[in-house]
Structure 1
Amino acid sequence: MTQTIGFIGMGPVHCTLARLSVSAGYHVLISTFPCTSATAELHSGTDATPEKIARESDLIVLSIPFPDFTRLSPADFIGKVIVDTTNYFPCTNGIIPALEDRSATSSELIQRFLKGSLVVKALNNLDHHHLGNGPRPAGAADRWALPVSSNDAYAKARVFSFLDRIGFDAVDNGSLADSWRMEAGMPVYVLPYIVEPPAGLTDDERRTWFRAERIRSVPPGKVRTLLARATHTGRVGGYAEDLPSGLME
């Protein structure tokens, strides 16, 4: 029986993951957040409500602006495995004291709000260009690995399987309390997977470069090393100026 992956969110990461899921043979449901031209490529399952997605999906991928998780209805998601791809960017999300003082991780806040769900932090540390060109078959020498955190072993195993099917290896990063190691601004976030474009390119040329570029090797061992290098020093969250221009466009 074909599994159904539900997508609640907006933006290019949301749409790229939906396309990868269709290519991997999953049935896809997409929330009413705009997916631009990507919805036409997915053929069916678009324009579902979050309530329908919660009811009918085997796995739910959450790709909304971080503070918007409070717009969801916790009762709808009891017992559901939720892949949290969100990141905390203070300049756009506003300052969140519990994150700034490191008393909680962003995924822990989502788990506390969506009581009874099974939150898994994953797929948050790649930009949409490299999510799109990153997948490789199982066993490929250049297959990328991505970190995964959850408080629930069953949910984590489900997401390991999902990542494998869409073309990535998975590295266990412990519980949601450990997920700070893979959050925006940490060593494993985005930069290890990309190469800066050649000098002198226009903005359009830089975007084209990022869509095609896939040079670096990021196997499981390297991901573990990057996770181990994370520290609780410096500022919390992601900042656009820390990433190459054109990458997130």
Structure 2
Amino acid sequence: MRRALVDINERTPMKIGIIGAGNIGATLARKLAASGHEVKLANSKGPGTIRDLAHDIGAAAVTKEEAVRGVEVIILSIPFANYRDLADLFNEAPADVTVIDTSNYYPLRDGAIAGVDGGKPESAWVSEQIGRPVVKAWNAVLAATLAEKGQPAGASGRIAIPVAGDDPKAKAKAMELVEVTGFDALDSGRLGDSWRQQPGTAAYCTELTAHELTSALRSADRSRAPGNRDALLREFMAAGGRLTHDEIVARNRTVTA
């Protein structure tokens, strides 16, 4: 596992389409637009419903079809079960586009998906649904962490984010974008290894440095992860929003240790 080494002065602006304008998608759009990238933002309800948000962010509000045309990177930040609806969309996308999946599977929310319940890594399932290879990134970070805890490169205690994928060029683009959002990008292996950063593991939403994250990924327990995931979700739902952000991170660390 290795860190991304990105020279901010050598970075070339990218054309990026983001599908999903919730907490993660909108925050990514804001940060990437602020760093000089050309961002198009789409949601399921149409551009008219996010035009003010996109204007505030510095992005263009577009349809899903427009979001995947003429871009170098597509970031998918939608509910996990909804990927089944996107297969035809990628007929419009460039053949060499980098697709980044930020989603996570929660059967209590998404309904049971037999392949994933049987052990298929979540992003491998996503790749099958859309018919494109994907890179998994930004899934293992809470929305508040992404919005508020980014730091400049080299800052002490900078939080790291794992990035998994099979294509080296696509992964390098994803890692570059993770860095400019304020986090150390850690190469976490191939897409088949991405179960190590799924919900219920010690790498998931625990705000670790690159060194700590490397250890967490290596020590991930595949058999325990689904039980940890479901237990934590039930606990957080029962709390009804009364837990602070720091309490959520601490519970994730304790249960998955």
- With normalisation by structure 1, the TM-score equals 0.81
- Aligned partner of 1:180 in structure 2 is 195
- For 1:184 and 1:90, the matched residues in 2 are separated by 11
Out of 62, 67, 72, the residue aligned to residue 81 of structure 2 is 67
Out of 126, 129, 134, the residue aligned to residue 113 of structure 1 is 129
SS at match of 1:147: strand
Within the alignment, does 1:155 sit opposite 2:170 as a pair?
A: yes
- For 1:235 and 1:156, the matched residues in 2 are separated by 25
SS at match of 2:211: helix
- For 2:211 and 2:224, the matched residues in 1 are separated by 25
Unaligned runs of 5+ in 1: 194-217
- With normalisation by structure 2, the TM-score equals 0.78
Out of 158, 166, 169, the residue aligned to residue 181 of structure 2 is 166
- Aligned partner of 2:36 in structure 1 is 25
Is the CA contact (8 Å cut-off) linking 1:7 and 1:18 kept in structure 2? yes
Deviations 1:78-135 (A, max 9, x none): 3221110000010110001111111x111001112333x3310000011111101121
- Select the structure that is richer in helix: 2
Residue type at the aligned position of 1:221: H
- 1:58 deviates by 1.6
- For 2:235 and 2:170, the matched residues in 1 are separated by 32
- Aligned partner of 1:215 in structure 2 is none
- C-alpha change, 1:23 and 1:142, in structure 2 (3 Å) is farther
SS at match of 1:227: helix
- Aligned partner of 2:253 in structure 1 is none
- Aligned partner of 2:220 in structure 1 is 230
Is the CA contact (8 Å cut-off) linking 1:80 and 1:118 kept in structure 2? no
- Aligned partner of 2:100 in structure 1 is 83
- For 1:88 and 1:62, the matched residues in 2 are separated by 14
Residue type at the aligned position of 1:186: T
- For 1:49 and 1:81, the matched residues in 2 are separated by 19
Residue type at the aligned position of 1:181: R
